[in-house]
Amino acid sequence: MSSRRVGIIGAAYSKFGDRQDVNLAELTWEAFREALQEASIDKDEIEFTVVSNVGAWSSEPLPAVVVSEAMGLRPKGSVRVEAACASGSAAVKLAHDIIAAGQAEVATAIGVEKMKESPTPLVVEFIGRAGNYMWEFENFGLTFPGYYALYATAYMAKYGVKEEDLCEVAVKNHYYAARNERAQFRNEINVERCMRSPYIAWPLKLYDCSPITDGAAAVILASEDYIRKHGREATWILGIGSATGTSNMSKRQDFTSLDASVVATRSAYSKAGIDPGNPVKSIDVAEVHDCFTIAEILAYEDLGFAKRGEGLKLLKEGETYKEGSIPVNLSGGLKAKGHPIGATGQSMIAELHHQLLGKVGGERQADIRRGVALAHNVGGTGHYAYVTVLSLHKEVEA
Amino acid sequence: MNKTQRDEIEAALKQAEAFVKEVKGSVGLPIVPDAKTGAATWYDQRELRLKYTVSVEKTRRFFEGLADGRIMATRCRRCGELYFPPQDFCSRCGSEDVEWIELSDVGQLLTFTVINVKPMSFSHYQDYTVGIARMPEGINVLAWVDGDPKKLRVGMKVKLKVVRRQPENYLIYEFEPVE
Ligand SMILES: [Zn+2]
């Protein structure tokens, strides 16, 4: 399958958190204007706009149109996409594929979520419905923490992991969020504080959970021809893997790994030329989907960063801190940077784009040796999975 | 003691509505400060209520089975694939020739959780336990697990039964631990 190489020329995410100081369009503008500035293009060069937004908790039912009008992207084509919490990565994939297929030279993937427009119990309701409505929500009232708690219980029973162990993920991600001015939570925590927090869905506690977040993020992509012709600075998309899991969680065979995540990883590694037997040696830095602490441990294993049952060991040995062999979530992750559902994917990719270019700086800047970064974005409870590999180079170096 | 999350939600909502009413009365606009940031927010003057009607025509035997205390699945007559939740066509081989079978009632608990913070529409319940069990037929069932969650263990035997869910008063299935 031959297609054109696509690069990222501009990317940004807004300040995440309680953003009732702005409406949906104003919040999007914060991210888009910065991405546009970095890309140093005229917005009229953008030929197509993909908007990711899950919505329901916010007032605008046609966000792609609201965003296109406010960003000045009209009358070019647009569409809104939904892949639950992976909507942002899905938007980047569509923008990428449109360019790769030669249907545009420049396209943008914009994510925005205004979750604070609704009261928390209603947001809990909407996210809880994001599984199989009739067979798992209607009669049994699952919540999003509840779905992941089912994974946590099974994982803890199989590998003898304790609640304190899961808290270690939160401690790491709060540490980095405290150093990220765009993050929702700017405070460090310790295991004791995490253990003292109330149960949300046993065995998961408040500090095991990502927050309800307002946020926006934008990624501007262009063809290799465009980037070369205009001499733009870029990071290259080496491969995007995607997969779909079962709607009914009960139809899954195992609750210690996300099938969709494994399939998407395999596909992304194959496209990017990464050795699935030892991906850590090819990747400098990763953002993984830590909507709950257990999810980051599952991600380590599903991505092949650690063997089955050894994800926690990888963390406890410091390997996923900045100084380790595979730094993960130096942004603070969903857990502490925040999780504005439809914008999370672009925010991961924006963060990694800047990591690769050395623009993050300060205490959160990873050492970039091989020039490769990975974004792992799960939608729902393994309902969707997207893995995106970015690089400073057009090929992974052997 | 038996105060539910719904009581708290409704009390908070009532308070907010009263405040907005007062603000509208004095300044003529439903604009109130956001509780966390103090930013000016427009308090929606419209409300949307959602209640779906979902077709169960093709799977009505399952629901009729509940009335007889039976929990049914479907099996593809062509390839043998088993379906729970039941469906009347086979996603695997494309056949539309399926038969209804009754599931065994004792399964093995694979995992469970206690829902402490509940969705709005479940906020009138006390904390409830959700589990997934593997049935002898090789399929899994997700349902509430009755009883004290502290006594539950992954791997233990649980029994599937039909109960009348209250206060809604409708038939549904749940697990209970097998002593
Ligand atoms: Zn079949």
- What stretches of A245-325 adopt beta strand conformation (E)? 285-287
The answer to whether the CB atoms of B117 and A154 lie below 8 A apart is: no
**Of B102, B124, B146, at which residue does a domain stop?**
B102
CATH number at residue B116: 2.40.50
Q: Which of A23, A27, A59, A124 is best to mutate for the B interface (most B CBs within 10 A)?
A: A124
Min Cα–Cα distance to chain A from B39, Å: 5
Residues with Cβ within 8 Å of B153's Cβ and at least 6 positions away in sequence, in order, are A157, B109
Q: Are A40 and A227 in contact, with CB atoms under 8 Å apart?
A: no
Instruction: For residue A210, give the DSSP letter.
Output: P
- Residue range of the domain that includes B73: 50-102
Beta-carbon count within 10 A of A188 CB: 14
Picking from B9, B113, B122, the nearest residue to A201 by CB comes out as B113
**Nearest of A45, A224, A250, A231 to residue A139 by alpha carbon:** A250
Is residue A325 domain-resident? no
- Sheet containing A48-52, strands listed edge to edge, beginning at the edge strand earlier in sequence: A77-81, A48-52, A106-114, A214-223, A6-13, A235-244, A384-391, A372-379, A285-287
- Lookup: tokens for A336: 């502490």
Beta-carbon count within 10 A of A393 CB: 13
- CB burial class (10 A; 0-12, 13-18, 19+) of residue B34? middle
- Closest chain A residue to B170 measured between Cα atoms? A139
State in Å: Cα B97 to ligand 1 middle: 8
- Lookup: tokens for A91: 């938007």
Amino acid in position A68: S
B41 DSSP β-pair partners:
B32
* Contact residues of B toward A, CB < 8 A: 5, 9, 12-13, 34, 36-37, 39, 41, 44, 54, 84-85, 110-123, 125, 128, 130, 132, 139-144, 149, 153-155, 165, 172
Chain A / chain B CB contacts < 8 angstroms: 118
Quick one: B118 and B179 in the same domain? yes
Core vs surface per residue A152-182: b (16+ CB within 10 A) or e: bbbbbbebebebebbbbbbbbbbbbbbbbeb
Q: Contacts of residue B153 in chain A, CB cutoff 8 Å?
A: 157
SS3 A324: coil
Amino acid in position B46: R
Q: Is the dihedral of CA B171, B173, B174, B177 positive or negative?
A: positive
Residues A263, A259: Cα–Cα separation, whole Å:
6
Supply the residues of A annotated as catalytic: 85, 339
Q: Is the dihedral of CA A303, A307, A311, A315 positive or negative?
A: negative
Min Cα–Cα distance to chain A from B175, Å: 12
- Lookup: tokens for A238: 């080496």
Quick one: B111 and B156 in the same domain? yes
- Closest chain B residue to A135 measured between Cα atoms? B85
- Sheet containing B98-102, strands listed edge to edge, beginning at the edge strand earlier in sequence: B82-83, B72-76, B98-102
SS3 B67: helix
Query: What pLDDT, on the 0 to 100 scale, is given for residue B1?
Result: 46
SS3 A98: helix
**Of B86, B102, B118, at which residue does a domain stop?**
B102
The answer to whether the complex's ipTM is over 0.90 is yes
Picking from B34, B110, B122, the nearest residue to A141 by CB comes out as B122
Quick one: B179 and B144 in the same domain? yes
Is residue A46 domain-resident? yes
Is residue A306 domain-resident? no
Is residue A87 domain-resident? yes
Residues B142, B85: Cα–Cα separation, whole Å:
10
Quick one: B134 and B155 in the same domain? yes
Q: Could you tell me the CA-to-CA distances from A264 to A130, A255, A290, B107 in Å, in that order?
A: 20, 17, 17, 32
Is residue A369 domain-resident? no
Quick one: B57 and B38 in the same domain? no
**Nearest of B102, B126, B73, B98 to residue A248 by alpha carbon:** B73
Question: What are the backbone angles phi and psi of residue A48, rounded to the nearest 5°?
Answer: -155, 145
Continuous segment of H or E residues that includes residue A148: helix A144-159
Question: What are the backbone angles phi and psi of residue B147, rounded to the nearest 5°?
Answer: 100, -175
Picking from B12, B44, B117, the nearest residue to A200 by CB comes out as B117
Quick one: B75 and B14 in the same domain? no
Picking from A122, A198, A201, the nearest residue to B114 by CB comes out as A201
Quick one: B57 and B34 in the same domain? no
Q: Are A134 and A128 in contact, with CB atoms under 8 Å apart?
A: no
Any B CB within 8 A of A327 CB: no
- Residue range of the domain that includes A89: 6-118+212-230
Quick one: B21 and B55 in the same domain? no
CATH number at residue A97: 3.40.47.10
Amino acid in position B30: P
pLDDT digits (tens, 9 = 90+) for B74-125: 999 999 999 999 999 999 999 999 999 999 999 999 999 999 999 999 999 9
Is residue A106 domain-resident? yes
- Closest chain A residue to B41 measured between Cα atoms? A20
- Closest chain B residue to A128 measured between Cα atoms? B119
Is residue A247 domain-resident? no
Among residues 216-255 of chain A, which lie with CB inside 8 Å of chain B? 248-252, 255
**Domain count within chain A:** 1
Per-residue pLDDT of chain A (398 residues; tens, 9 = 90+): 568 999 999 999 999 999 999 999 999 999 999 999 999 999 999 999 999 999 999 999 999 999 999 999 999 999 999 999 999 999 999 999 999 999 999 999 999 999 999 999 999 999 999 989 999 999 999 999 999 999 999 999 999 999 999 999 999 999 999 999 999 999 999 999 999 999 999 999 999 999 999 999 999 999 999 999 999 999 999 999 999 999 999 999 999 999 999 999 999 999 999 999 999 999 999 999 999 999 999 999 999 999 999 999 999 999 999 999 999 999 999 999 999 999 999 999 999 999 999 999 999 999 999 999 999 999 999 999 999 999 999 877 65
Per-residue pLDDT of chain B (179 residues; tens, 9 = 90+): 468 889 999 999 999 999 999 999 999 999 999 988 999 999 999 999 999 999 999 999 999 999 999 999 999 999 999 999 999 999 999 999 999 999 999 999 999 999 999 999 999 999 999 999 999 999 999 999 999 999 999 999 999 999 999 999 999 999 999 97
Quick one: B82 and B126 in the same domain? no
Residues A329, A306: Cα–Cα separation, whole Å:
16
Q: Could you tell me the CA-to-CA distances from B70 to A56, A325, B76, B104 in Å, in that order?
A: 37, 54, 19, 9
Is residue A220 domain-resident? yes
Quick one: B109 and B96 in the same domain? no
Beta-carbon count within 10 A of B57 CB: 6
The answer to whether the CB atoms of A134 and B85 lie below 8 A apart is: yes
Quick one: B90 and B155 in the same domain? no
- Lookup: tokens for A54: 């899950």
B134 DSSP β-pair partners:
B108, B140
**Domain count within chain B:** 3
Quick one: B110 and B163 in the same domain? yes
Q: How many residues does chain B have?
A: 179
Q: Tokens 């005229």, residue?
A: A42
